[in-house]
Amino acid sequence: MTQREGRIGRYVRMVAQPGQGDALAEQLLHVADGLRDVPGCELYIINREPDEADTVWVTEVWTSQEASDAALSQDLGDAGIGRVLSLLAGPPDLIDLAPVGGPGLR
């Protein structure tokens, strides 16, 4: 089994300031809505960690590194990325992946 040519994935773990996990998740859902029609974005899912109220994970899949870079270099002010950053207790943790396939992926 091999990775689809060029496709990239990422898990992003974000920890909100104490008591701000709900606000962070809501703001990330707003960002996700802004990425719905962005070329190259195949998956952008917001996840909550059941036992850690202030931890939110984002699962991303992009058609290529270039598509991810282009989307994230756009002016995301309307998507609310500045608000996301203001809710964080520290920098996000990133885990880069090489998606292979499965239900939900194009």
4-49 pLDDT tens trace = 678 999 999 999 999 999 999 999 999 898 888 889 999 999 999 9
CATH of residue 17's domain is 3.30.70.100
Residue 105 lies in a domain: no
How high is the pLDDT of residue 28?
94
Q: Is the pTM of this model over 0.75?
A: yes
Number of domains in the chain: 1
What is the domain range of residue 29?
Answer: 8-97
Q: Are 16 and 23 in contact (CB under 8 A)?
A: yes
The DSSP annotation for 19-33 comes to T-HHHHHHHHHHHHH
Q: Are 14 and 4 in contact (CB under 8 A)?
A: no
Residue 90 lies in a domain: yes
Q: What is the pLDDT of residues 68-86, one digit of tens each?
A: 888 877 655 456 677 889 9
Residue 3 lies in a domain: no
Q: How many helices (H) and strands (E) does the chain have?
A: 3, 4
How high is the pLDDT of residue 1?
47
How high is the pLDDT of residue 89?
97
